[in-house]
Amino acid sequence: MEAYPDPLAVPDRIPRPDYVPESFWSDPWSEVVALEDLEGEGPLIQLGGEEEKAVRRVGKMAAEVMSGIGRFIQPGITTEELDAKVHEFIIERGAYPSPLGYSSFPKSCTTSVNNVIAHGIPDGRLLHPEDVINIDLTLFLNGYHGDTSKTFMLPAVDKLGRDLVEATREALELGIRACGPGKKFSGIGNAIEDFAKRHGFSVNSQFSGHGIGRNFHQKPWILHNRKLLCLPGLVEPEVMLPGHCFTIEPCLVQGLNARGSLWDDGWTMSTETGARSAQFEHQVLITESGVDVLTRRAEESV
């Protein structure tokens, strides 16, 4: 099985992010755009104008795609087939799948199964009735990105697995409730880690949420735990301001050790202990009066 399969085609009529090189489909490794040149500190979203409309539209579209792919998650389907469906749903909306070509990433979404914490590359693996799977997808439309992820449970997942998934969903909601103009960014991680510990889970600190808008990833970096040390050079801003747009995407792991190790493919991160992990993600916008969840799904209960 190839770790880096051929990327799916994108019609020329669909604009691509700046980080996707012209040679990506002919030779994915011939050129890699330096991400540090594209993903610095992005500006706040201008509320009440075209920027806000654009970021709300792409967030809603990401939610629609996530709702659509959920209908196909069943035993016997491969993660590569799920990726193809995500790709199809995004393209038919006139948008671009943001992960495709991001630092040569070969697929249109990530699929992280069981003990994979994040960034799993879709492949020929069949889903089993006992699996949990996270799908993380992002769309690029009219110059803005919309980013969301959800962990799905297959029919025969045991109670421990269901408890993990439900706790992770609740942790995300607690992180969202900690948001608002003038509130400290540190309140997000405090709320998530306190909740996770009370329920016997640990929070992975190798991944963070991130600012998003015209850039796929940018400051502010969103910590999901209390520790100040997470990623090298990671510094939290102090408070949230109207126009801040960012993701909250905690990864919870069963047990006390949430650390992961990187696979040889350069992307997939799995737990050191083999314990299962789950992740949920929403993109939020700080408004003058509170926080709006841009990627809330129509069928989702809070």
How is residue 161 written in tokens? 């697995």
DSSP codes, 129-188: TT-EEEEEEEEEETTEEEEEEEEEE-TT--HHHHHHHHHHHHHHHHHHHT-STT-BTHHH
Specify whether the CB–CB gap between 67 and 43 falls below 8 A: no
Q: How far apart are CA 21 and CA 1, in angstroms?
A: 25
Q: Is 238 among the annotated ligand-binding positions?
A: no
Q: What are the backbone angles phi and psi of residue 95, rounded to the nearest 5°? A: -110, 170
Q: Is 170 among the annotated ligand-binding positions?
A: no
- Of 208, 203, 289, 282, the closest CA to residue 245 belongs to 282
Q: Is 224 among the annotated ligand-binding positions?
A: no
- Of 248, 37, 218, the closest CA to residue 145 belongs to 218
How is residue 219 written in tokens? 């400051």
Q: Is 265 among the annotated ligand-binding positions?
A: no
Q: Is 18 among the annotated ligand-binding positions?
A: no
- Of 260, 256, 254, the closest CA to residue 276 belongs to 254
Which residues sit in the known binding site?
119, 136, 147, 210, 217, 249, 281
* Residues contributing to the annotated binding site for substrate: 119, 217
Binding residue numbers for a divalent metal cation = 136, 147, 210, 249, 281
